[in-house]
Structure formats: structure tokens, C-alpha cells
Structure 1
Amino acid sequence: MSGGVLSCGVALLLALTSVSAVQMLYSIDGFKDIDFGSSVPEHSLMLLHWFANTVQINANGVISLNFDLIRGDYGAHHYGNYERVLNSRPWGYQYYTIGNVHRDTSRQLPSYVRNNQGEFVAGNRDRIIIRVQEQNTGQGALRRVDQVYITQHYEHHGSMYDPNHTYQINTNLLRQIRGFSVSELRNRYGRNTGIYNWYNQQIYRPQSNSTWQTNRQNDCDDCCRVLAFCFVLLLVVFAFISFNAYHRK
């Protein structure tokens, strides 16, 4: 009995500390639903356009790369997922991130991706993350992609990625993006989704200190409630185990 209660307690604690599931975007119209531009940097559109038109997608939806991740082509480098933004990778798979325009090899990216950072609110924070399957086939060692994500770094937390601004990209969406030119994609799903209004609000109507403090206090209160619940749960489990142990004597 006590073992069952303890297992339940551990399961609840793991559930409380687990990462929320990343939302999947199946269609390009999903950009409207997430308010693309304020939720996700508009520059991610440019990265996705480049990626969709660079990789190979066969009739079965299998994505294959034609560039070398290990060599760091297009600014790619290994991503360890240490902050658990994504699910733990299965054996034989690796995560890689692409899109850092400050890396030397990012000069391979087209100019509309590399040279337009100044007009985007988020700067150099947005990235594509891919999960690739390791294959011992020489040149095809890291070629097959089974998951694609767009994400961004926190604004003031170094290289940590923000799980609330991370979305998985369906293969069908990549195919849809291929049908748009750069200007069409930006005009339809970038400029018209509120990014420039959001940008103007930050310049002309900056958030007041009181509002910022209120939001920060709300976040702290939520964290305190979760910690308090975990503490109470541990006390209940400990008390139950002690009670059973006492009556068995």
C-alpha cells in the first residue's frame, strides 16, 4: 500500500516538473493562430523558407539533408537539449540547431536570411532545430530528418531556448512554404500578423514598471504555489509511510 502511494507521489512530482508538449503546426494558416511575429520572430519565416527550399522531401514525407551538419554548414551545431525544451532523443538520434547568423559558416545562408536582422524585432534569437538520425553510411552519416522545430532564445537568458515559443513544423507545412516567394511569405504571414504593431507598441507605449512588476509577481506566485504543493505532497507521502511503519511494529 505504501509503495503504491509512494509511486503515485513520485509520478505526480515528475508530472509537475515535466516539460509541456510542443505545439505542432500542420498548415501555414497556423501562423495566424499563434500570432506569428509577436509569439515567434518573423525572421523564422525566412529561415523556414530557406530550409524548405534546401532540403529534399520525398513522396513519403521523409526529409533528407544535402549539407553537412558535422562540418557546421549554414551555422549548424549540435544541440544538447539540456533545458528539456524538447523530448529526450531516442538512441541513434541527435538534435542540431541552425540559424545563428553570427557564426562564420552562416555566410552560406542566402542574403534574405543573413542580412535582414536589423528589421526584425527579435534580432538573432530565432533558430530551427532538427532531429536527425545517425547512420553509419559515410557521407550520409547525418542526413535523415524526422522532426523540425522553430524556436527562439529567451531575451535575457543567454543561450536558453523558450519552450513557450517553440513549435514543431509538419512536413506538409514545409511543402506549403515552398509555394511562396520570400516577399509573399513575409507580406501574408509576417507583416500582417501584428509584428510591426507590436514593435511600435514597444517603442511608443513601453510597458510601465508597475505592469512589469505585476507580471513578475504573478510568475513568482505561480512558482511558489507549485513548490508549496510539492512540499505538502512530500509531507503527506512521508507521513503515510511513517504511519504504516509504526503500525507494523
Structure 2
Amino acid sequence: MMKISGRVTWCCVALLLALTSVSAVHRELNSITDLKKINFGQSVPKHSLLLLHWFANTVNIDDNNVISLTFDPNSGAYGSHHYGNFEGLLDTVPQGNQYRYYTIGSLSQDQSMQLPPYVARPSRQYEGENRDRIIVRVTEQNTGWQFFRRIDQVYITQHIANHAEYDPDHTYRITTNLLREIGEFSVGPNQLPLWYLRNRFGSSADDFDIETAWGQLACLGLLLYIVLGERHPFTPKSNYKLQVRQQSAYTPDNRQTSWCAALVKCCMIVVVLLIGLFILAISAARR
């Protein structure tokens, strides 16, 4: 009886652990309201929000809620590589189908396509120690004239501190609806008005304050304000892209041209002064 009781106890413990693990990775975040319930900054790095914002504005979502990847994850783009799921963190890949898991967002590996500066080089309070990742399950389809990579599962997760494994207790499945909502906070020339986003998601944020502090990244600043409840989580250089563009156009040839132009201006000023002095001297001599 004792042996049977012991076996039953161990079976119950194993079953409980299995159920706990499964429930952890299947916790879904379906909206920004769900996102606000995550303890960012304590249990989950705030950097996850920056990575998720970039991802939601990089993939394509069609009218049928089909998510397609816009880059080749096998190339290492945006810190991506194959993920074997050897520890059983996620669902087993269906047999007979071309499904593979990939992780995205490593800041340490060489990248053929770089993450934007606000993700790759955030302020100190947003650094995630390169622990947070996005995991996607991708199926590849060759239509004959186009290679199509379809995503059917998206997760945010993080490495356990000082370990290579991912943390099952802080792995969340991201729904298409949440990706759509985050995608509304896109940055760039086609971004939506702040007042519209503020009213749509019931925020009390001050449009003027956020736009002044965030500039071109104002929509991202509003998203972080809504999720984290902070007015200014960090204040990046709002004209970063413009500054980079101006600096990249500044070459030694341009510098030489600038010096020549300055020298010509100085010579012209000297000539004008000499002419003025000459005229004054003639006038004085006539008197």
C-alpha cells in the first residue's frame, strides 16, 4: 500500500508540474489592457515592450488575420535564429509540416538587418540585459512565384538570469489582436494622431508633453505611458534619425568646401573694408 501511495503521489506531483508549465506558456495577451497587467520592470524587462512594438510594426497582417514574416529568419536578421524547443517550452511542432520555431531580438549576434536604435540602444532604464526575446512559429510555403513565411504563433519570453533556458513562468502568447493594437502606434510619416490614440485607448496622457519629449517617437512614448502608467519612461533624442542622416552627409569633401566658402567670405569682407578706408582717405585729403 505504501509503495502504491508513493507512486500515486509522484504521479500527482509530475502531473501538477506539467500542468503548471503548460498553463504558463499558454497565457495569452489579447489586448493592451492585458499587457498592462504584466509586471514590467520587475518580473519582465521593459525592453520587451520596445521589441514587441518594433515586431508588431514589422510583420504584415492581412484582412484574414494571417501574419507573414517580412524577412528571412535563417539569415540572422534582427538577431534571429532557429529555436529547437528542446526543453519543451512550447507546443510540439506538428509532424509532416514545415513548421519551425525562431527567436528574434538578440542584440549580441551579427545582424544583416539591424534593429532600430530605440530597440538596439535604449536608455539605461530600458536595457533588458539582452534577455528578452520574441519567439515565432513559422511555416514556409513556396507558391511558385513567391516564398511565403506564415506565422501562426507569437510569444514574448526571456532568458532565465545567467542561464540559456527561457523562463516558462514569464512566457506569454501574443494574439493577432494585440499585434494589431500595438501596430496602431507606428512611428514615422504615416503615424496616427496622438489625440486619436489617446482617446481610443482611454488614456489621460498630455499630447503636447509627449510630442515635445518624444518627437518622432511620440506614438511609442504614448504606448509606454498607457502600458506602464509613466509620463516619460525615457526621453530619447527625438530627431535621432534626422541627425544621423545629416551626419552621414558630412564628408571630408564637404568640410573642404565649407572652409573654401568661409575663406572667400573673409576675403570679401577685407576687400570691402579696404575700399571703405580708401574712400575715407580720399575724402579726408580733399578737405
More moved, 135-144 vs 51-60: 135-144
Aligned-partner Cα distance in 2 for 1:160–1:132: 21
Aligned-partner Cα distance in 1 for 2:224–2:130: 17
Percent sequence identity is 51
Quote how far apart the aligned CAs of 1:98 are. 0.3
The partner residue of 1:84 within 72, 84, 88 is 88
Aligned-partner Cα distance in 1 for 2:230–2:140: 40
The partner residue of 2:159 within 142, 149, 153 is 153
The partner residue of 1:115 within 110, 113, 121 is 121
Asked if structure 1 preserves the Cα contact closer than 8 Å seen for 2:76 and 2:110, the reply is no
TM norm structure 2: 0.59
The partner residue of 2:110 within 104, 115, 119 is 104
Aligned-partner Cα distance in 2 for 1:106–1:11: 48
The verdict on how the C-alpha distance between 1:46 and 1:166 changes in structure 2, with shifts beyond 3 A counting, is same
Aligned-partner Cα distance in 1 for 2:11–2:94: 22
- SS of 1:146's equivalent in the other structure is strand
Write the mapping of 1:226-241 to structure 2, written as runs, cut at 5 A. Answer: none
Quote how far apart the aligned CAs of 1:90 are. 1.3
Quote how far apart the aligned CAs of 1:188 are. 2.3
Asked if structure 2 preserves the Cα contact closer than 8 Å seen for 1:117 and 1:123, the reply is no
- SS of 2:111's equivalent in the other structure is helix
The verdict on how the C-alpha distance between 1:179 and 1:154 changes in structure 2, with shifts beyond 3 A counting, is same
More moved, 90-99 vs 137-146: 137-146
**Could you give the per-residue CA deviations for residues 167-219 of structure 1, whole angstroms, max 9, x where no partner exists?**
000100001101222211222223639x99xxxxxxxxxxxxxxxxxxxxxxx
Asked if structure 2 preserves the Cα contact closer than 8 Å seen for 1:133 and 1:145, the reply is yes
The partner residue of 1:190 within 225, 228, 245 is 228
Paired position in structure 2 for 1:243? none
The verdict on how the C-alpha distance between 1:50 and 1:13 changes in structure 2, with shifts beyond 3 A counting, is same
Paired position in structure 1 for 2:168? 163
**Could you give the per-residue CA deviations for residues 68-88 of structure 1, whole angstroms, max 9, x where no partner exists?**
112121111000111211111
The verdict on how the C-alpha distance between 1:50 and 1:139 changes in structure 2, with shifts beyond 3 A counting, is farther
When the two chains are superposed, the root-mean-square deviation of aligned CA atoms in Å is 2.8
Aligned-partner Cα distance in 1 for 2:17–2:146: 37
Asked if structure 2 preserves the Cα contact closer than 8 Å seen for 1:99 and 1:106, the reply is no
Higher relative contact order (CA 8 A, sep 6+): 1
Quote how far apart the aligned CAs of 1:117 are. 6.2
Aligned-partner Cα distance in 1 for 2:144–2:170: 36
- SS of 1:51's equivalent in the other structure is helix
Paired position in structure 2 for 1:15? 15
Aligned-partner Cα distance in 2 for 1:138–1:75: 28
- SS of 1:74's equivalent in the other structure is helix
Aligned-partner Cα distance in 1 for 2:80–2:124: 21
Aligned-partner Cα distance in 1 for 2:51–2:158: 12
**Matched letter for residue 157 of structure 2:** T
Aligned-partner Cα distance in 1 for 2:148–2:87: 23
**Matched letter for residue 114 of structure 1:** A
The verdict on how the C-alpha distance between 1:114 and 1:121 changes in structure 2, with shifts beyond 3 A counting, is closer
**Could you give the per-residue CA deviations for residues 125-171 of structure 1, whole angstroms, max 9, x where no partner exists?**
000000011324478556100010000001122x1100111100010
Runs of 5+ consecutive residues of structure 1 not aligned to the other structure: 1-7, 197-249
Paired position in structure 2 for 1:40? 44
Count of residue correspondences: 189
Aligned-partner Cα distance in 2 for 1:106–1:163: 30
Asked if structure 2 preserves the Cα contact closer than 8 Å seen for 1:148 and 1:170, the reply is yes
Asked if structure 2 preserves the Cα contact closer than 8 Å seen for 1:69 and 1:142, the reply is no
Quote how far apart the aligned CAs of 1:119 are. 2.8
Asked if structure 1 preserves the Cα contact closer than 8 Å seen for 2:48 and 2:128, the reply is no
**Matched letter for residue 91 of structure 2:** N
Aligned-partner Cα distance in 2 for 1:106–1:151: 23
Aligned-partner Cα distance in 1 for 2:229–2:118: 15
1:143 correspondence with 2:141:
no
